[in-house]
Amino acid sequence: MNPEKTDATLRITGDVLRFRHNPFERENALELLRDHSLVIGKGRLLAIAPAVEARHRWPDCPEQDYSGHWLLPGLIDAHGHYPQLAITASWGAALLPWLEQYTFPEESRFDQGEYARDMAARYQRLCLQNGITTPVVFCTSHPLSVQAWFEQAEARNMRSIAGQVLMDRNAPDTLLREHETALEEVQAQIQQWHGRGRQQVAITPRFAATSSREQLRDAGWLMAHTDCLMQTHLSENPDEIRWMLSLFPECRDYLEIYESHGLLGPRSLFAHGIHLSDSEVARLRASGAAIAHCPSSNLFLGSGLFAARHMADAGIPLALGADVGAGPSLNLFAVMARAYEVSRLQSAPLNAAQLLWLATEGAAQTLKLEAHIGRLQAGLEADIIALNPQATENLALRYHRAESEEEALFALLCLGDDRMVAATWLAGEQQQSQR
Ligand code: GUN
Ligand code: ZN
């Protein structure tokens, strides 16, 4: 075989784990290509080839040897709040008191640019340490919090989706902005950041309770006049739902509040969606809207058990979210393990392939990013992680006992944390040694 003249600048060699097909549609979805190389150039994957063949075809291209490691697409965290990093693991409260006691006071600090920059940098570093290459986040209602986020994501060349949180009522004054002001600020952010490099702006009303009807209408107008995603919260907690219906007595259910303000459609991403009626599920399905399932957060706040398999069977696009800071950490393996446990409690257990799908390829589809990320395939962006399945004594013990890739993967998801993430590449650039 003749050497190739291409733009290849890096070969990463290891065992490539990828999907043959959607594991929610058919079994036997995973394949492990042992001793393969990912060939990278200009930030993209150029080819996947057996390592021996890649050495012949690209002899001058430097190689990083991760033999014995699993190479996967970078993980996607479809829901989180970077400004809540410092209040993760706050004790004792359900959603509404948790917002009041811990969250709103912390978010109020993000009118300070330096604090916002520090927290954005910490969050992004922790993402990389945990193998998350695409975070989807809420900022706060302060424009500075958005600027801080995007400047640093751009500097890292980290793909991200983020938005200024829209709130104009029912919260401390330090977090409220007049709806016309906020609309202008978000329009300016879309101009500046949306589609610039790897950055995307999401229209981000916090949830219906903290926005006036005018503000929800503004958000619906923005959704209709841009191609931005809209992210918000839906049906997380019974007290929250009662409050919503008292604020919007004209609506028959929680979903109708968003629906009636033009916020329900294929670019809508709702976090949680735990306590939905059959009618709400049917309308979600008809609209093409998606749900970010955040099981560690739901357990932590005692919000309830999301029916993941039921929703997937109903045809609702799903992704996983760590939901920091209600979720206690950015360890997306722990989120997958909690998703398993919650589904197991409902006698409809998700399997390992489905869990990984919801944090990679399935998530990319849900976010309309499947042409860019989520899968190791020539042409896509080279966001890659190397997992060491024997990173700890416990992992190694369990890994050697496994009789199939799927069994090994399930054990790794249940037992793994950031020690398992040996390396992370963003658009083909290895990120600094993570520890
Ligand atoms: N609902 C409205 N705001 C929030 C938030 O910050 N976290 C969670 N988990 N739910 C919310
Ligand atoms: Zn949230």
- Domain shared by 341 and 387, yes or no: no
Among 3-12, 208-217, 285-294, 385-394, whose mean pLDDT is lowest?
A: 3-12
Distance CA 157, CA 284 (A): 33
CA of 237 to the centre of ligand 1 (A): 10
Contacts of 39 (CB under 8 A, 6+ apart): 6, 8, 10, 11, 45, 46, 47, 48, 49, 54, 58, 61
Q: What is the mean pLDDT of the chain?
A: 97
Q: How confident is the model at residue 435, as a pLDDT?
A: 52
Q: How confident is the model at residue 3, as a pLDDT?
A: 73
- Domain shared by 147 and 53, yes or no: no
Atom of ligand 1 nearest to the CA of 236: 10
- Domain shared by 62 and 90, yes or no: no
Considering the domain boundaries, does residue 277 fall inside one?
yes
DSSP E strand boundaries for 154-300:
160-163, 165-166, 199-205, 229-234, 268-272, 290-293
Q: What is the pLDDT of residues 111-155, one digit of tens each?
A: 999 999 999 999 999 999 999 999 999 999 999 999 999 999 999
- Domain shared by 30 and 133, yes or no: no
User: Is the confidence at residue 4, as pLDDT, over 90?
Assistant: no
Considering the domain boundaries, does residue 5 fall inside one?
no
Query: Among 366, 392, 408, which residue terminates a domain?
Result: 366
**Average pLDDT for residues 19-34, to the nearest whole number?**
97
Query: Among 340, 366, 392, which residue terminates a domain?
Result: 366
29, 21 in Cβ contact below 8 A? yes
Q: What is the pLDDT of residues 288-332, one digit of tens each?
A: 999 999 999 999 999 999 999 999 999 999 999 999 999 999 999
**Average pLDDT for residues 416-428, to the nearest whole number?**
98
- Domain shared by 49 and 63, yes or no: yes
Ligand 1 contact via 381 beta carbon (within 6 Å): no
Of 85, 90, 99, the one to substitute when testing ligand 1's pocket (max ligand atoms within 8 A of C-beta) is: 99
pLDDT band at 178 (very low <50, low <70, confident <90, very high): very high
Q: What is the pLDDT of residues 240-249, one digit of tens each?
A: 999 999 999 9
Nearest-CA residue for atom 9 of ligand 1: 326
- Domain shared by 64 and 118, yes or no: no
How many domains does the chain fold into? Answer: 2
362, 75 in Cβ contact below 8 A? no
User: Is the confidence at residue 198, as pLDDT, over 80?
Assistant: yes
Ligand 1 contact via 233 beta carbon (within 6 Å): yes
| The pair of three-digit structure tokens given for residue 338, joined into one six-digit string | 């909690």
- Domain shared by 303 and 215, yes or no: yes
**Rounded to the nearest 5°, which phi and psi values hold at 373?**
-140, 175
CA of 323 to the centre of ligand 1 (A): 9
Helix (H) or strand (E) holding 117, with range, is helix 113-129
Strand partners, 81: 138
User: Is the confidence at residue 432, as pLDDT, over 90?
Assistant: no
- Domain shared by 251 and 318, yes or no: yes
**Rounded to the nearest 5°, which phi and psi values hold at 77?**
-100, 105
- Domain shared by 242 and 344, yes or no: yes
Ligand 1 contact via 323 beta carbon (within 6 Å): yes
pLDDT band at 197 (very low <50, low <70, confident <90, very high): very high
pLDDT band at 433 (very low <50, low <70, confident <90, very high): low
Considering the domain boundaries, does residue 103 fall inside one?
yes
Considering the domain boundaries, does residue 2 fall inside one?
no
pTM above 0.85, yes or no: yes
Q: Which residues of 151-171 are buried (b: 16+ CB within 10 A; e: fewer)?
A: ebbeebbbbbbbbbbbbbebb
- Domain shared by 427 and 291, yes or no: no
332, 356 in Cβ contact below 8 A? no
Query: Among 366, 390, 420, which residue terminates a domain?
Result: 366
DSSP E strand boundaries for 144-258:
160-163, 165-166, 199-205, 229-234
Distance CA 2, CA 251 (A): 67
- Domain shared by 252 and 292, yes or no: yes
Report which of 361, 312, 355, 310 is spatially closest to residue 337, judged by C-alpha positions. 355
Residue ranges making up the domain that contains 47: 10-74+375-433
Q: How confident is the model at residue 306, as a pLDDT?
A: 98
Give 277-295 as a 3 state SS string. Answer: CHHHHHHHHHHCCEEEECH
Task: Identify the CATH number of the domain in which residue 17 sits.
Answer: 2.30.40.10
- Sign, Cα dihedral of 414, 135, 85, 154: positive
Q: What is the pLDDT of residues 345-363, one digit of tens each?
A: 999 999 999 999 999 999 9
CA of residue 209 relative to chain centroid, distance: 24
DSSP label of 204: E
Atom of ligand 1 nearest to the CA of 84: 6
- Domain shared by 238 and 186, yes or no: yes
| The pair of three-digit structure tokens given for residue 42, joined into one six-digit string | 């200009």
DSSP E strand boundaries for 57-163:
63-73, 75-81, 132-138, 160-163
User: Is the confidence at residue 221, as pLDDT, over 60?
Assistant: yes
Q: What is the pLDDT of residues 48-91, one digit of tens each?
A: 999 999 999 999 999 999 999 999 999 999 999 999 999 999 99
